[in-house]
Homo-oligomer: A and B are copies of this chain.
Amino acid sequence: MTPEALSALSARFGEQLSTAPAVLDAHGRDESGLEHTRPHAVLFALSENDVVDALRLSAAHAFPVIPYAAGSSLEGQLIPVRGGLSLDLSRMNAVLDVQPGSFQATVQPGVTYPELNRRLRPHGLFFPVDPGAEASLGGMASTNASGTGAVRYGTMRDQVLQLRVVLPGGRVIQAGSRARKTSAGYDLRHLFIGAEGTLGVITELTVKLWPLPSHLVALRCPFETVEAAAACAVAVMTAALQPERLELLDAEGLRAVNRFEGTAYPEQPTLWIELASASAAGLDETLALCRELCLDAGALEVAAARSPAERAELWQARHHAYYALKALYPGHSSLSTDLCVPLHHLPQIIAFARAAIDEAGLQASLLGHVGDGNFHVLFHAEPDDTATWNRIQAVYDTMTALALALGGTCSGEHGVGLHKRRFLPLEHGDALDVMRGLKALLDPDGLLNPGKILPD
């Protein structure tokens, strides 16, 4: 960034602009563990108008702009690889409007999903996308985030009705409609969802809300093998039990949790299933059906919990798995895959992954949102252990090739960022040229979050 650009930003934004080293450091990393790079400056935007002016100055002075909010991305999406301005939207965190009668809320991009849910509880409503961390709605839209609720409610893509977006150069558009459905012209909304801040900066979102389920039960079922657990997940889906959540953690994950939490869960591949019904009687029927199905599929036990406190306890091991696994290998770096395949192929690719990991002698654990066909392999190695990292990359590549051959995708929910760009030619073929065309159309100077999604 030129001194002229910095002084123009400073003149316009005063103390909202920071070049303090600690602030630059904090905006140079995300949760991926990828190499940090500082931005030249950080702007704490307070309004859409701030965003407009930042993008005008970016166009005038040709500096990159990287949208930032909670800092919880997992693929380096927030890292300013070419420097520039980190545009921090975390202070644009107002819930602007809640319309219970239309099941929708309008929020600024810095609102986190736990905060939105706190605001919705008095209405008996909730927002079902829960990617973990304290992710912001703007960031979640930008990576098309999902989480444990996607199996029942879908991803961010399914929740966003309308966006306000500032385009490179500072033009503001509105995409989508507050109506539940529209067929009025090209769907611009979905261009920006999952675009990781490379096509525009989201300044407002209207999202769908859902009624809180009235009756819930959570189940925990350990299995002898991870393949058996995956096959049971497919059976639960095929039986049309329509679970609220359907999660998997392998034996290694349970060991990590027991060590981290001092618990004594069976250290075996485990499924968590949450079932809902509008009526208590309906829930009893669904639970009985599901229990029988799990036992038939080889579940060693079916632990069930109904009260909120008991459900929270039953879920604990799954919810804490990611950090427990990281804690199991102090001083190691970790790398998470994010493959997603058509559901009926899930047992096959999970068996393949487990075998490939073991054959390569790697330390890795399997967890995932298996009702969606989405699972993560979390690899661990010491940062400088190049030989091991090469073996990890080789296993990652073969797993990805299989997922794509089965009709799947290299990313179910984390996005592309820096690291997965190399998979895109194989996944998209000629469609990648169309993606490049879209980027050139909306950001002809390549100033918005450069170096992300599209391979160089």
> Which A residues contact B (CB, under 8 angstroms)?
99-104, 124, 143-146, 150, 154-155, 157-158, 162, 167, 171-175, 177-191, 193-195, 199, 211, 214, 234, 237-238, 240-242, 277-279, 281-282, 285-286, 338, 340-345, 372-374, 406-416, 420, 423-424, 427-432, 434-435, 437-439, 441-442, 453-454
Contacts and interface: CB of A to CB of B under 8 A. Distances in A.
Given A173-B430, A179-B342, A185 B372 contact: no
B281 A281 contact: yes
A282 to B, nearest CB: 3
A186 B344 contact: no
Copies in the complex: 2
Given A175-B431, A430-B172, A181 B155 contact: yes
Nearest to A421: B185
A187 B178 contact: no
Given A143-B183, A185-B427, A188-B434, 14 more contacts: A102-B373, A104-B342, A157-B187, A173-B428, A179-B372, A179-B373, A180-B342, A180-B372, A181-B340, A181-B372, A185-B435, A279-B285, A282-B282, A441-B441
- The 4 nearest A-B residue pairs measured at CB: A282-B282, A101-B344, A211-B240, A178-B407
A146 B181 contact: yes
Contacts of A184: 409-411, 415-416, 420, 423-424, 427-428
A342 B104 CA distance: 9
A178 B278 contact: no
Given A173-B429, A282-B278, A144 B374 contact: no
B182 A409 contact: yes
